A and B are shown apart, each in its own frame.
Chain A
Amino acid sequence: DAKTTQPPSMDCAEGRAANLPCNHSTISGNEYVYWYRQIHSQGPQYIIHGLKNNETNEMASLIITEDRKSSTLILPHATLRDTAVYYCIVRVAGSGTYKYIFGTGTRLKVLA
């Protein structure tokens, strides 16, 4: 039930914007797109989520295409501490709750 595809790795210069793409062409109308990141030996950490509209918070921005088949996570000014694996996730409804369908993740390396 693969819902998302992501490039396996990306590099970004420190201080520059990191743009991480995700394809989710089979997403259903009521399924949210979530982004989490995993820094080495820690659990996944929430970044941002959205349904249709673009979203921004203190960590990142999320741009979702109008047809909702793809999205981009933007870290506006990447720092060395942003080096992590970034997961694009589709949240699907289950039996009384939801579950996350994780992508394979993009390993972002921020370079000094």
Chain B
Amino acid sequence: EPEVTQTPSHQVTQMGQEVILRCVPISNHLYFYWYRQILGQKVEFLVSFYNNEISEKSEIFDDQFSVERPDGSNFTLKIRSTKLEDSAMYFCASSFNAGAISYTFGSGTRLTVV
């Protein structure tokens, strides 16, 4: 069964450093998403991406965040200057179309900011 692959599985970074989280969506999917889950809290929507541009972003997704599809296979989330409160599990997801029956989520990257 096709999978969404996320790397690394765990990343530790110093406060103020830039971090890039990487995702390889399912190959024929066209819509891409990032969600995050702070430990003990709900999974929250960050951003959706289609046709090389952001479709929608949440209020969490401020100027410190950016997304990119640098080539035909990768989808990245960049945090420019990490803060302690950015520590969370970040999930990438993809779907074939906007109204797809379901999204396929990756296993997540646990980001720890120290």
Contacts of B106 in A (CB 8 A): 43
Contacts of A104 in B (CB 8 A): 42
Closest to B53 in A: A96
Instruction: Bin chain A's interface residue count.
Output: 20 to 34
Residues of B within 8 A of A (CB): 4, 31, 33, 35, 42-45, 48, 50, 55-56, 58, 91, 93, 98-99, 101-108
Contacts of A42 in B (CB 8 A): 107-108
29 A–B contacts from the bound complex (CB under 8 Å): A34-B102, A41-B107, A41-B108, A42-B108, A43-B91, A43-B105, A43-B106, A43-B108, A44-B43, A46-B101, A46-B102, A94-B55, A94-B56, A95-B55, A95-B56, A96-B50, A96-B55, A96-B56, A97-B50, A97-B55, A97-B56, A98-B98, A99-B45, A99-B56, A100-B103, A102-B42, A102-B44, A104-B42, A105-B42
Contacts of B45 in A (CB 8 A): 99-101
The total of Cβ contacts below 8 Å across the A-B interface reads: 58
- The answer on a CB contact under 8 Å between B48 and A94 is yes
Closest to B47 in A: A99
Contacts of A45 in B (CB 8 A): 105
Distance, CA A95 to CA B61, complexed state (A): 15
Distance, CA A95 to CA B101, complexed state (A): 18
